Amino acid sequence: METQVAIVGAGPAGLVLARLLELRGVSSVVLEARSREYVEQRVRAGVLEQRTVDCLDEAGVSERLHEEGMVHHGIELRFGGVGHRIDFNALTGGKSITVYGQQEVVKDLIAARLESELPLLFEVSDVAVDVSRPSVSFTHEGRSVELSCDVIAGCDGFHGVCREAIADVLTVYERVYPFAWLGILARSKPSSEELIYANHARGFALHSMRSPSVTRSYLQCSPDEDLDDWPDARIWEELNARFELDGGFALNEGEIFEKGVTPMRSFVVEPMQHEKLFLAGDAAHIVPPTGAKGMNLAIADVEILASALESFYASGDTSGLESYSEHCLRRVWRVQHFSYFMTSMLHRPDGQDPFEAKLQHAQLEYVCRSEAAAKSLAENYVGLHEV
Ligand code: FAD
Ligand code: DHB
């Protein structure tokens, strides 16, 4: 089997890259370890930056996103029993975010790929990459296949094989947090028009949504939290306690139909490229979820990779490929800093040092009182165009 670009992984990074290459006349084969049903049901992120929406528009896969996605012009920070709105419209010159589930983005991209009748192989196993030849070998439907290519795009997420294949040349930067998120989906009407990020003595909580009748909420918990200890009634009680307001506040409750625990880490490898292998998305970096950057960052990487490959195939210009890693890493570290900042400002580590608790409170008051500080939060949240 032969192609120009072998793409390992059909998450947002791999699928967006495949689509952008298709529109630029570059051939690709996408290899995915899981089944189509699995990747379409996997519940993850939900906030799209404006530039991600623009990218999906350009890719021609945003029709349902515009019908069903919810455009938000601000968020609320809630602490000390009071809510404070961060007004994106006013602070960023009219920018917004769109709330639309990651698995919906993935469904739309898979549908477009299949409609174009381009290769997207699910349930491949034994995937191994050879970065110097370059090629990818794998098993599909019981047959061993060798795919030779010009370039390999390692879009196989944090637990994939591509990063491992070049581990010898990588420097790892990492921070693991002493807490995690317990995330739920519930059949209940959102209790607020916008997302609420709450800092409370019992821990962080986030109120988000997926549609006018489905809410997505998260609670700070411990990384080894046992879901069996969290019957629905306890989850609602804890969420209500953490979202309390001086004037009173009660969430709209409903049936919880999905629960999971997400660990939190910051992780970056440098460089993001070696020989003919280019890492993109979670294969190269992880951010803690506070601020909703993971999927947006994955898509920003592959936009850069797609234009570098376009120039390479159009005119043999290798400069974009050579500067790929450096170019991506500028945004990666900006976003790492923002996600770390949001995480540190909003979570309460067990046994929090009273000095740090005071600093955290001072920081929260500052972003709510100072226009300059609010503007900095807002421009990072909606997504920086250039870094
Ligand atoms: P992925 O989406 O991980 O896609 C990689 C794909 O590669 C997967 O489909 C995987 O099955 C496949 N794969 C792996 N190994 C192989 C192999 N050997 N061969 C072929 N295919 C392979 N971000 C937020 O902003 N907010 C959130 O609330 C949030 N929640 C999250 C919850 C969880 C449980 C996780 C894991 C992540 C969450 N994220 C969140 C992060 C966000 O979802 C990711 O940043 C985003 O999915 C990155 O996209 P990606 O395409 O790089 O990687
Ligand atoms: C969602 C996830 C996030 O990490 C975040 O900061 C905001 C919203 C969500 O899943 O809706």
SS3 letters across the chain: CECCEEEECCCHHHHHHHHHHHHCCCCEEEECCCCHHHHHHCCCCCEECHHHHHHHHHCCCCHHHHHHCEEECEEEEEECCEEEEEEHHHHHCCCCEEECCHHHHHHHHHHHHHHCCCCEECCCEEEEEECCCCEEEEEECCEEEEEECCEEEECCCCCCCHHHHCHHHCEEEEEEEEEEEEEEEEECCCCCCCEEEEECCCCCEEEEEEECCEEEEEEEECCCCCHHHCCHHHHHHHHHHHCCCCCCCCCCCCEEEEEEEEEEEEEEEECCEECCEEECHHHCEECCCCCCCHHHHHHHHHHHHHHHHHHHHHHCCCHHHHCHHHHHHHHHHHHHHHHHHHHHHHCCCCCCCHHHHHHHHHHHHHHHHCHHHHHHHHHHHHCCCCC
Segment 45-56 shows an average pLDDT of 96
* Closest residue to atom 40 of ligand 1, CA basis: 45
- Decide if pLDDT at 102 tops 90: yes
Q: Closest-lying ligand to the alpha carbon of 280?
A: 1
- Decide if pLDDT at 158 tops 80: yes
Arithmetic mean of pLDDT over the chain: 97
Active site residues: 72, 197, 289, 293, 381
Q: Closest-lying ligand to the alpha carbon of 296?
A: 1
Strand partners, 181: 220, 262
Q: Please give the pLDDT value at position 386.
A: 79
Q: Please give the pLDDT value at position 306.
A: 98
Out of 75, 109, 282, give the residue to mutate to test ligand 1, the one with the largest number of ligand atoms within 8 Å of its CB. 282
- Decide if pLDDT at 385 tops 90: no
Segment 147-151 shows an average pLDDT of 98
Segment 9-28 shows an average pLDDT of 98
* Cβ-based burial of 259 (10 A; exposed 0-12, middle 13-18, buried ≥19): middle
In angstroms, the CA 277 to CA 129 distance is 9
- Decide if pLDDT at 139 tops 90: yes
Out of 208, 264, 342, give the residue to mutate to test ligand 2, the one with the largest number of ligand atoms within 8 Å of its CB. 208
Q: Please give the pLDDT value at position 59.
A: 98
What is the CA angle 99-100-102, rounded to 5? 125
Strand partners, 115: none
* Per-residue pLDDT tens digits for 220-250: 999 999 999 999 999 999 999 999 999 999 9
Segment 49-67 shows an average pLDDT of 97
Segment 177-197 shows an average pLDDT of 97
- The pLDDT-based confidence of 335 (bands split at 50, 70, 90) is very high
Specify the ligand 2 atom closest to the Cα of 216.
Answer: 11
In angstroms, the CA 91 to CA 95 distance is 8
In angstroms, the CA 334 to CA 330 distance is 6
Specify the ligand 2 atom closest to the Cα of 342.
Answer: 6
- The pLDDT-based confidence of 387 (bands split at 50, 70, 90) is confident
294 CA distance to ligand 2 centroid (A)? 10
Which tokens is 91 given?
């602070």
Instruction: Name the residue among 148, 149, 142 with its Cα closest to residue 125.
Output: 142
45 CA distance to ligand 2 centroid (A)? 6
Q: Please give the pLDDT value at position 380.
A: 97
In angstroms, the CA 287 to CA 338 distance is 9
Q: What is the crossing angle of helices 371-382 and 354-369, to 10°? A: 90
* Per-residue pLDDT tens digits for 269-305: 999 999 999 999 999 999 999 999 999 999 999 999 9
Q: Please give the pLDDT value at position 103.
A: 95
- Decide if pLDDT at 320 tops 90: yes
